[in-house]
Structure 1
Amino acid sequence: MNLIKDSFEFGLHTQIHFGVNRIQELPEIIKKYNYKNVLICTDKGIASSGALDRLESILKDGEIKYEVFTEVEPDPTIRIVKKVEQFFIERNCDAIIGFGGGSSIDTAKGVSIAVANPGDLSKFEGKNQIPNKGPNVIAIPTTAGTGSEVTHATVLKDEDRKYKMGILSEHLHPKAAILDPALLTTLPKGLATMTGMDALSHAIESYTSNQAQPITEALGLYAIELIGKNLRPFAADRTNIEAASNMMLASTIAGAAFIWGRVAAVHALSHPLGGRYKIPHGLANSLLLPIVMKYNVSSNFQKFKNIAVQLGENVEGLSLREAAAKSVTAVEELIADLEIPTTLKEINIELSDEEVQVVAEEAFASGIANANPRQVSVKDLVSIINTIK
C-alpha cells in the first residue's frame, strides 16, 4: 500500500468485554443500555450443553426480563430469521443477544435488519443497502472462529436460490461483545478445529488481500501468530484456558481485520460450496485455504514468508520464494495434525464438471474474489475446486 497515494478506513464500533467469567456482567450491560426485554437467539446445541441454563440463571439473578429462541440452524437462513423476527415482535423485545457460534450471531443481526426494514431480506444484499437501524445486538460467542461479534456483516442463506448472501452495513455492528473463554471449554473437538481454521482463513486472507491496509495487516498477522501457537493445544484440550483465551482473542482480532481488509478466493468459493452442499463453513475454508495460498504465494513472497514465520516455520537460509512456500506447508501440516479432511471425497461429496462450473461461476459473480491478491478467473476457480475433489 502506498501511504502517499492511498487512503483507508478502519473502525471498530463494538464495546468488547474480555475475560474468564465476564458473562456474569451481562445484566450490568443490559441495564447500562436500558433494554427492557431481551431476546436470546441461540441453537439447540447450546440449550442442551448447559450454557443456556447458566445464561438464564445470570439474567434471573440480575432481574432481567428475557425471552428465548433456540431453533437457530447452522448456516442461518432467511426463513429462520423471519421466524425469529415474528417471535421478537410478538414478545415485545427491544434488543437481541446472539449466543453461540457465528450462526446465532448472524441470525441475531438478520433479525435486527428484518424488524426495522420490512420486506424481502435479499434486497439488502451487498454493502450499505439497509435504510433503517434495527434493535441492538449483544454478541456472546461460544466458538473461536467467525469473528462476527465485531463485524458489520451477516451471511444468510437463501434456500430458494441455494445461495449464501452477504449483507454489510454500519447498522450491523453489535453494540457489545462478551468474550468469555470459559464458554469455549465444552466445545466438541471437531467444532474447535473447524472454527479455528475459519479464524485462520480470515487472518490470512485479510493479511494478503489487495485491500489490506496497515491496521488490518497488523491485526491479521498477530491473529496468525496466536492461532499458530494455540490451535493445536486448544484442539487437544478445550479446558486449556490459556489456549482457549488466545483462540478467542485470535478469532475476534481476525474478525476486526477481515471486515476492513476483506476476504478473498477462499471465501468466494466456500460460500457456494456451503450453500449448495451444506459443507460447514470452517471445513470448506480449511479445504480451500492451502490450495488458494499456493495459487497466491507469488503475489507477495514477503507476506507469505511472514506467515510462515508466524506459524513457526524455520526459514533461515532459504530464498524468499522458498520461505514463502513454507507458509503453505505450515497450513497443510496444521490441517493434518488437526485431522481435518482435505478433499470433498472424504466427506462424501462428489461434484460433476457441471456442478464445479456452477460453483465457480457463483464464486466469481459474488465479487468476493475481487480482493484476491492474484487475479482469478472462473477457469482458475474451477481448477482450485478440482484440486480438492
Structure 2
Amino acid sequence: MSSICKHVAPEIIFGRGALSQVGESAVRLGANKVFIVSDQGVVNAGWVERVLSYLKAAGLQYEIFSSVTSNPKHTEITEGLKRYLESECDSIMAVGGGSPTDVAKSIATMATNGGVIQDFEGINKITKPLPPMLAVPTTAGAGSEVTQFAIIVDKERKLKMAIISKSLVPDIAIIDPEVLQTKSARLTAATGIDALSHAIEAYVSLAATPLTEVHSLSALRLIAQNLRESVACRTNMEAKTSMAMASLQAGIAFSNAILGAAHAMVHQVDGFLDTHHGESNACILPYVMEFNLIACPGKFKQIAEALGEDVTGLSTWAAAKKAIKAVRALVSDVGLAEGLAELGMKEEYIPSFSRNALKDACLVTNPRDADENDIAEIYRMAM
C-alpha cells in the first residue's frame, strides 16, 4: 500500500431525479452546444429524449451521435470525432453505459490532441486539456462516469486498448437510479458482476489505498445485498439505488487503484469475441481470485465478510476461500455464463490472448506476479 494517497473523482450528482440536473450542469461548464454520445438502446428507452428536454429548457443546442456499439471500435471514434468537429459543439455528454462514455472520452481526447486513438493507448499519453465532459450512466456496472479509463477495441489487432489518464475523468457525473428500470435482467446481471469485479480487483490491487479500500468494501456489501433483487425486479428502486451506488463506489475505487489480471484477460476476450464485459468477467474472475489467493489471504477474508459469508472461527485461509465461493454463487444465482466456452472461447485463442494480456496496463497492479504460462492456465480453467 502506498504511503501517499492520491484520489481523483469528478463532481458527482446522485439520486432519483438527478437527471433533471443535466441542463444546469452543462451551463455551469460553459456549454453552448452539447455533443451527446449514446447508443440506440438508450435512445429507444427514451433517456436521450429526456436529456434533450432538460438541455432545451436550459437554452442549449445539441448534436446527437448514437452509432455506438457494445465493445466500441476505433472506427466509431473516428466517425464520432468527424461529427463533433462538423457540428461545432463545445462540450461532450455521454448518455449510456460504459461504451458511450468511453467513446465520448475518446472523441474528447482526439478533438484537442489530434492523432489517432491508438496514439493514446497506455498511461498518461494525453497532453492537452479536453473539452468539458459530462457523463450520465444508464447502467450500474461500468463506473466509467468517474474513472480515468477509456477502453476501445482496435479492430485491426482485435483487442481492447486501455487508455488511462486523469484527463479522462468527466467534469460532472450525473447518476439517476431511475434510469436503471429499463434494463433487461441479463444486462442488469452482467453489469452488476462487472461492478463486483471492479471492487474486488481494486481492493487487492498493489495500488490500493485506505481511500480506495473503503469504497471497494462498501461496493461489495451493496452488491451482495442487492444484485439478486435488482435482477429479479426492474421496479425495485431500493435495489436499483443501491446498485447505482455500488457501481459508483467501485468505479471510484478502481479509477484510483487500477485493476488486475482478470481485466487484463477479459479485455482480450471482449476485443476478439465481442462478448459482454460483465459476462466475460463472470467466467474469469473466480479463477483469477484462486490464483491471487496466496498473495493476500487477509484481504480475501475481508472480501468474504463483505459478501456476507460467515467466517467465524475459520482460519484466514479457510475464510479467504469463502470469497471465491460467494462470487461463484452470485454469478450462478443471476444466471450468467460460468465458462468461457459458452461465450465462444477456443483453445487455439489462448496463446495470443495470453501474450496480449501480459501487455495490458491492468496487469501491473495485480497482487501476484503472472507470466504467460500462468495466464494461459487461467484461461484454460475458465473455459
TM-score, normalization: structure 1?
Answer: 0.96
Matching residue of 1:96: 92
Q: Deviations over 1:56-90 (max 9, x none)?
A: 22222332211111111111121111111111111
Matching residue of 2:351: 357
Matching residue of 1:192: 188
Alpha-carbon distance in 1 for matches of 2:256, 2:170 = 16
Moved more, 6-15 or 192-201: 6-15
| Pair 1:35-2:31 in alignment | yes
Matching residue of 1:44: 40
CA contact (8 A) 2:8 2:166 kept: no
| Pair 1:372-2:366 in alignment | yes
Q: Deviations over 1:321-344 (max 9, x none)?
A: 111110011001001100111112
Closer/same/farther in 2, CA of residues 9 and 125 from structure 1, 3 Å limit: farther
Matching residue of 1:320: 316
Runs of 5+ consecutive residues of structure 2 not aligned to the other structure:
none
Q: State the 1:240 CA deviation.
A: 0.9
Counterpart of 2:377 (choices 357, 378, 383) is 383
Residue type of the alignment partner of 1:45: G
Q: State the 1:203 CA deviation.
A: 0.3
CA contact (8 A) 1:223 1:253 kept: yes
Counterpart of 2:154 (choices 145, 153, 158) is 158
| Pair 1:15-2:7 in alignment | no
Partner secondary structure for residue 217 of structure 2:
helix
Matching residue of 1:135: 131
Matching residue of 1:105: 101
CA contact (8 A) 1:38 1:97 kept: yes
Alpha-carbon distance in 1 for matches of 2:68, 2:133 = 16
Residue type of the alignment partner of 1:280: H
Q: State the 1:308 CA deviation.
A: 0.8
Alpha-carbon distance in 1 for matches of 2:258, 2:46 = 35
CA contact (8 A) 1:9 1:260 kept: no
Residue type of the alignment partner of 1:137: M
Residue type of the alignment partner of 1:112: A
Residue type of the alignment partner of 2:160: K
Matching residue of 1:75: 71
Residue type of the alignment partner of 2:291: Y
Sequence identity, in percent? 37
Alpha-carbon distance in 2 for matches of 1:27, 1:385 = 46
CA contact (8 A) 2:122 2:361 kept: no
CA contact (8 A) 2:77 2:117 kept: no
Closer/same/farther in 2, CA of residues 319 and 9 from structure 1, 3 Å limit: closer
Alpha-carbon distance in 2 for matches of 1:277, 1:66 = 34
Q: State the 1:299 CA deviation.
A: 1.6
Residue type of the alignment partner of 1:333: A
CA contact (8 A) 2:94 2:101 kept: yes
Alpha-carbon distance in 2 for matches of 1:350, 1:299 = 28
Counterpart of 2:250 (choices 254, 267, 276) is 254
Alpha-carbon distance in 2 for matches of 1:350, 1:143 = 26
Partner secondary structure for residue 185 of structure 1:
helix
Q: Deviations over 1:160-206 (max 9, x none)?
A: 11121111122211010101000111111111110110110000001
CA contact (8 A) 1:206 1:212 kept: yes
Alpha-carbon distance in 2 for matches of 1:12, 1:210 = 17
Residue type of the alignment partner of 2:66: T
Partner secondary structure for residue 38 of structure 1:
strand
CA contact (8 A) 1:116 1:132 kept: yes
Matching residue of 2:240: 244
Q: State the 1:367 CA deviation.
A: 4.0
Q: Deviations over 1:207-264 (max 9, x none)?
A: 0112211111111111111111111111111211111111111111111111121200
Alpha-carbon distance in 1 for matches of 2:174, 2:338 = 33
Alpha-carbon distance in 2 for matches of 1:51, 1:259 = 26
Alpha-carbon distance in 2 for matches of 1:138, 1:289 = 31
Residue type of the alignment partner of 2:382: I
Q: How many residues align?
A: 383
Q: State the 1:27 CA deviation.
A: 1.2
Runs of 5+ consecutive residues of structure 1 not aligned to the other structure:
none
